Amino acid sequence: MILVFFSIIYLSITIPKYFYCLVSNKMGDATAENSHRLTLNPLAHTDIFGTLILPLLLFIASKGLFSVGYAKPLPINSYCLKNPKKQIGILSLIIPLVNICFALILTIILKTIYFGDSDILVFAIWINLLLAVFNLIPIPPLQGAKIMTFLLPKSMVAAYKRIKPYGTSLIIFAFLSGLLPRIIKSITSFAFNYVLRIDSGL
């Protein structure tokens, strides 16, 4: 069972990264592929701190109530893109969108053709929605920071990028304060309850 749960977590992290690399290639930037990131091998996307140490620290700090992490940031060469700001904004949406689509597909499977232990699929749906919400937080190195850079006017982008060196520390502090876990859990719970109410016959 532990192996199944860890497999779900790694697939939920790896598959979105894979699609990110595919879309990046289509846009003309093969940097991720050249860095051997166009793969479903989870080891290629594992970040020692974000994927292993941070989740463990958060798990211990929350006494086993909450934990989340992130994979190794994907390389990108804006010089290979025709419209860097717009295309980087689109690419930043790929990972959370794939997690949401994964959750929706699993929900349809759960409601139609799956007759096994529902706890496994429910866990997978929750994890994918949790990762989508977490990734949308506008703090580097999360995808939400890149989306925010796309949305902000040019006059504010430089000032916003100054928080990048402190991003990981900000995330840890926000988690330890208890504020960020409450926000993430509330949004994920809302999305989770909404997704499970979706009519699979549509």
CA 6/CA 146 separation, integer angstroms: 28
CA 136/CA 146 separation, integer angstroms: 9
Establish how many alpha carbons lie within 13 A of residue 137's alpha carbon, considering only the half-sphere containing its beta carbon: 27
- The mean pLDDT of the chain is 85
Q: For the segment 56-113, what is each residue's pLDDT rounded down to a tens digit?
A: 777 777 666 666 667 788 888 988 998 888 898 899 999 999 999 999 999 988 888 7
Task: Let me know: does 129 contact 135? Beta carbons within 8 Å.
Answer: no
Task: Let me know: does 132 contact 103? Beta carbons within 8 Å.
Answer: yes
| Residues making up the chain, counted from first to last | 202
SS3 28: coil
Q: What pTM does this model have?
A: 0.84
Write down the domain spans for the chain: 2-196
pLDDT computed for residue 197 by the predictor: 79
